Amino acid sequence: MIPWLRQAAPDVLCLQEVRAEDAELAKVLAEAGLAHWSVAHTEGTAKGRAGVAVVTRAPHTAVRIGIDGAFSDEGRWVEADIVTDAGPLTVVSAYVHTGEAGTGRQDVKMAFLAAMTTRMRRAAAADELVIVAGDLNVAHREADLKNWKGNLAKAGFLPEERAVLDGWLAGGDWVDVQRRHAGDVTGPYSWWSWRGKAFDNDAGWRIDYQLATRRLAATVTGTFVGRATTYAQRWSDHAPVVADYAVETD
């Protein structure tokens, strides 16, 4: 990941599945030349699992872990506030549960999505500048995964999961900025199984998002997925989703 980071030179970096303690994350960021950046990181109680972080060039003015106090020990939601020329900006790094249809794991996933809905409605109602970025483990539309017919009854493409995203995006208060800029096309995918020829055949899923509130989304000038050129060059089963916003950080 470090060579990609050096080349991409982002102002804001959202990480999911960090799977590390604070000291371990700090070491990696230092190796990437980001030792002086502000880091908001939360680990899950299960060691070696989950973990999310918001890493920014600008200093954080506030950090919040969990969604309004819920899910605060799972390493799946962290918010960091920074100052920009457009006003205060909240950056969220989110890692939604994988889930499993018909099990308690799916119930937890749906509860997490419901908590997200409440938080996001409040942000939209207050006309805040907010980005929710990360692995949401839901493909919204048929264009967002290669084998959609084979996954209609599986977690990640269940009707009730997709309906949650419908609710977020329907009124335009929240915008899927990658979809807006890519247009009505297949993909671009951000996750491919390590198995078989999924990556080589581009048989993937688009489950990593940047969702922005209306006013912030209007400043987006472009998006892309940092897909590796070859299977051998992959450093994750995910690829980074990048968006450029015409907003300057202080």
Confidence of residue 47 (pLDDT cuts 50, 70, 90): confident
Q: Quote the number of domains for the chain.
A: 1
Average pLDDT over residues 73-78: 97
pLDDT in tens, 127-175: 999 999 999 999 999 999 999 999 999 999 999 999 999 999 999 999 9
Residue 113 resides in a domain: yes
Tell me whether residue 20 is in a domain.
Answer: no
3 φ/ψ sector (left φ>0, alpha ψ -120 to 50, else beta): alpha
User: Would residue 2 count as lying in a domain?
Assistant: no
Of 206, 213, 217, whose CA–CA distance to 244 is shortest? 217
Q: Domain range holding 191? A: 96-244
pLDDT digits (tens, 9 = 90+) for 194-245: 999 999 999 999 999 999 999 999 999 999 999 999 999 999 999 999 999 9
In a domain, 40, yes or no: no
Query: Which band of pLDDT confidence, cut at 50, 70 and 90, is reported for residue 93?
Result: very high
Residue 168: inside a domain: yes
Supply the CATH number for residue 112's domain: 3.60.10.10
Is the pLDDT at 15 greater than 80, yes or no?
yes
Has residue 53 been placed in a domain? Answer: no
Q: Is residue 91 part of a domain?
A: no
Q: Is the residue at 86 inside a domain?
A: no
